[in-house]
Amino acid sequence: MFKAPQSKYLVPHDGSFTLGNAPTRPGDGKWYSGRRLRKAVQKLDRLQMALYAEDRIALLLIFQAMDAAGKDSTIRAVMGGINPAGCQVFSFKRPTSTEIDHDFLWRTTRSLPERGRIGIFNRSYYEEVLIVRVHPEILETQKLPDNVSHDTLWDDRLESIVDFEKHMARNGTLILKFWLNVSKEEQKARFLRRLDEPDKQWKFNVHDVGERRYWDDYMRAYEAALGATSREWAPWYAVPADNKAYARACVAEIIVDAMDSLGLAYPQPSAAERAQFAAARAKLLGS
């Protein structure tokens, strides 16, 4: 199966991840990263075309973060330079009544990328071990069977996620997961900018401010989820997100490194196809 590209932001696969090892600001002084991003996006465009043409491997990108961490803008900046025909973006909000009538992985499973395509999840099934863990009262709406143990529920869901991702990886899906790690102070500053700037006010949600009360609970939930589910075949990257340009460059470079390792190549025509091409060429020249 796939091997995760190395990065100092790679969440270890042995369960040893702690928030103390996850900075929100880059420590190498590379704050302006526009050139790095442009270079990576150009290479990503070429790799995506080969992925689409080869039509054998799917790429799933998962983005999780606290509100105002920059998920939308990162997805737009990193993926904006590639062919939209080979890319699908899904944003998962509050589950519908139909989705609640199924297990917690069902609604995202329906949106998995096809071979040759890049699928992007803006939030994902991880919400079920993040927001639901912070607000367990949500479980009352999920119609869980009586035999589901609430004592082991979170560990059981995390185990299901690991098994699910391993199944996907075994069957040709490359999975990369990004936690855009923003600080509480930077989130506050971004909320204030949304209030102050008319073209950003549409993004503001009063509910998001209230969720800041649960910041520590969310951090513990992220620490548990990332530590339990980062695997070689489905790695997590805890990317510092206090500087958006830096985060975007890091995400783009990790994706490029991962796709580079796949050895993607355009399909070579068979002998029969080459003979057909020669005949078509002769027909065109003679017309």
Domain residue ranges of the chain, discontinuous segments joined by +:
19-286
For residue 95, report the phi and psi dihedrals to the nearest 5 degrees.
-60, 145
Section 2-30 average pLDDT? 86
Section 160-182 average pLDDT? 97
pLDDT at 190: 94
Give the CATH number of domain 19-286; options: 3.40.50.300, 3.20.20.70, 3.30.565.10, 3.60.9.10. 3.40.50.300
Give the tokens for residue 222: 């992220």
The yes-or-no verdict on residue 135 having pLDDT over 80 is yes
**Residue 176 contacts by C-beta under 8 Å, 6 or more apart in sequence?**
59, 60, 61, 62, 235, 237, 254, 255, 258
Spatial separation of the C-alpha atoms in residues 244 and 234, rounded to whole Å: 24
Contact 11, 230 (CB under 8 A): yes
Please state, in angstroms and as integers, the Cα–Cα distance from residue 149 to each residue in 43, 133, 139, following that order.
47, 14, 12
pLDDT digits (tens, 9 = 90+) for 39-82: 999 999 999 999 999 999 999 999 999 999 999 999 999 998 88
Tell me how far the alpha carbon of residue 222 is from its chain's centroid. 14
Which pTM does this prediction carry? 0.94
Contact 52, 83 (CB under 8 A): yes
Name the nearest CA neighbour of 128 among 142, 116, 113, 114.
142
What mean pLDDT is reported for the chain? 93
Give the tokens for residue 53: 């043409």
